[in-house]
Amino acid sequence: MRTVRTITELRGMIHVWRNKGERIAFVPTMGNLHAGHIHLMAQAVHRADRVVASIFVNPMQFGANEDFTTYPRTLSADSIALAENGVHALFLPEVSELYPHGAENTTRVEVVGLSDILCGASRPGHFVGVATVVNKFFNIVQPDIAVFGEKDYQQLLVIRRMVADLCLPITILGVPTVREPDGLAMSSRNGYLTAEQRSGASRLYQVLRATHQHISEGARDYAMLAEQGMQALRDAGFTPDYFTVRRSHDLMLPEPGDSELVVLAAAWSGSTRLIDNIQIDI
Ligand code: PAF
């Protein structure tokens, strides 16, 4: 695996691969890799001749009071894991390489509508930061396929919509969430949890599953299910941000006849914000 820090060098490598007719997959990450990320790499390796992964803690998608400076940076272990799992190039740009005029002064990409609801309502500007950096990566790598986890379900839809709206010739692959044995969705931020918080954290998934079960048994009062979910999260010791049933293709509230749904939740365990979701077809 080659580690590449500049756009020019990465483009040079990709040019050679393209000239040989090779198919390229791209997996963006912020590092601190866990089994969920490795699963994304495996999907990429399976679908392309060459895999490019990036590690970049993107300042543009963090709010002023969020964890940009403390976000875990574990480059040595991450590099080994990527090399051992078939990645051909690790793109590791400095902030100044991607944002030469500063992240606050860069051209922005906003996916209107999807960006300011749910997580976007709690984290203003977050999805503009995500869409902007992912669009830049797409322009640099020009992959045939890019791989994202379904754990960040709203992010996945933002990316899909951006690709459609901007006519980018890239297939977006969403990959099911990888979970710990007790059901907790794998996340780089799980490491922030204290032992006590960690032992209660899987309740988030259990509450989602209970709602999934109610819907599969015929419950259709989604507002009531959401209120029950919020209460169940409070009872489990979380401070819920939202718990809601939405249409899986656009995250709008379901209307009679909608059959493809997703139950989404975001909740604080102490100072750690956890998110998770379950899709359901009724
Ligand atoms: O999901 C993430 O890790 C980040 O939001 C992403 C897609 C790498 C963009 O910075």
* CATH code, 74: 3.40.50.620
Q: Which long-range contacts (CB under 8 A, 24 or more apart) does 42-49 make?
A: 42/85, 42/86, 43/147, 43/173, 43/175, 44/87, 44/145, 44/147, 45/85, 45/86, 45/87, 47/23, 47/145, 47/173, 48/22, 48/23, 48/24, 48/143, 48/144, 48/145, 49/17, 49/22, 49/23, 49/24
8 A C-beta contact, residue 59 and residue 174: no
Q: Is the CB of 272 under 6 A from ligand 1?
A: no
Rounded CA-CA distance 102/95 in Å is 8
CA of 57 to the centre of ligand 1 (A): 8
Assess if residue 256 is contained within a domain: yes
User: Angle at which helices 75-84 and 35-47 pack, to 10 degrees?
Assistant: 40
Q: Give percent of the chain with pLDDT exceeding 90.
A: 100
Rounded CA-CA distance 78/90 in Å is 10
271: CATH: 3.30.1300.10
Same domain as 250, residue 135: no
Give, for ligand 1, the residue of 134, 135, 187 to mutate: max count of ligand atoms closer than 8 Å to Cβ.
134
For the segment 46-69, the average pLDDT, to the nearest whole number, is 98
Residue 224 CA from chain centroid, whole number: 28
Q: Which pLDDT value is given to residue 31?
A: 98
128-167 pLDDT tens trace: 999 999 999 999 999 999 999 999 999 999 999 999 999 9
Q: Give percent of the chain with pLDDT exceeding 70.
A: 100
CA end-to-end span of the chain: 44
SS3 181: coil
For the segment 242-256, the average pLDDT, to the nearest whole number, is 98
CA of 73 to the centre of ligand 1 (A): 14
CA of 17 to the centre of ligand 1 (A): 25
- For 241, the token pair is 């941000």
Phi, psi for residue 223 in degrees, rounded to 5: -65, -40
Q: Which pLDDT value is given to residue 54?
A: 99
Q: Which pLDDT value is given to residue 103?
A: 97
Rounded CA-CA distance 77/83 in Å is 10
Rounded CA-CA distance 144/170 in Å is 5
Same domain as 16, residue 136: yes
Rounded CA-CA distance 52/50 in Å is 7
- For 227, the token pair is 């209120």
Going by their DSSP bridges, the two strands 239-247 and 260-269 should be labelled as antiparallel
Q: Which pLDDT value is given to residue 82?
A: 98
Assess if residue 231 is contained within a domain: yes
- For 221, the token pair is 């009062």
Assess if residue 64 is contained within a domain: yes
Same domain as 123, residue 212: no
Q: Is the CB of 28 under 6 A from ligand 1?
A: yes
Assess if residue 183 is contained within a domain: no
8 A C-beta contact, residue 267 and residue 187: no
Q: Domain range holding 128?
A: 2-175
Assess if residue 247 is contained within a domain: yes
Rounded CA-CA distance 144/169 in Å is 7
Assess if residue 180 is contained within a domain: no
The number of residues in the chain equals 282
Same domain as 232, residue 136: no
Assess if residue 257 is contained within a domain: yes
Q: Is the CB of 154 under 6 A from ligand 1?
A: no
For the segment 71-78, the average pLDDT, to the nearest whole number, is 98
For the segment 33-57, the average pLDDT, to the nearest whole number, is 98
Rounded CA-CA distance 169/145 in Å is 9
What type of residue sits at position 76? S
| Average pLDDT value over all residues in the chain | 98
Q: Is the CB of 29 under 6 A from ligand 1?
A: yes
Give, for ligand 1, the residue of 71, 109, 155 to mutate: max count of ligand atoms closer than 8 Å to Cβ.
155
For the segment 23-30, the average pLDDT, to the nearest whole number, is 98
For the segment 103-125, the average pLDDT, to the nearest whole number, is 98
Residues noted as catalytic: 37
CA of 35 to the centre of ligand 1 (A): 16
State the closest ligand 1 atom to the C-alpha of 149, by its place in the atom list counted from 1.
1
For the segment 53-63, the average pLDDT, to the nearest whole number, is 98
Q: Which pLDDT value is given to residue 113?
A: 96
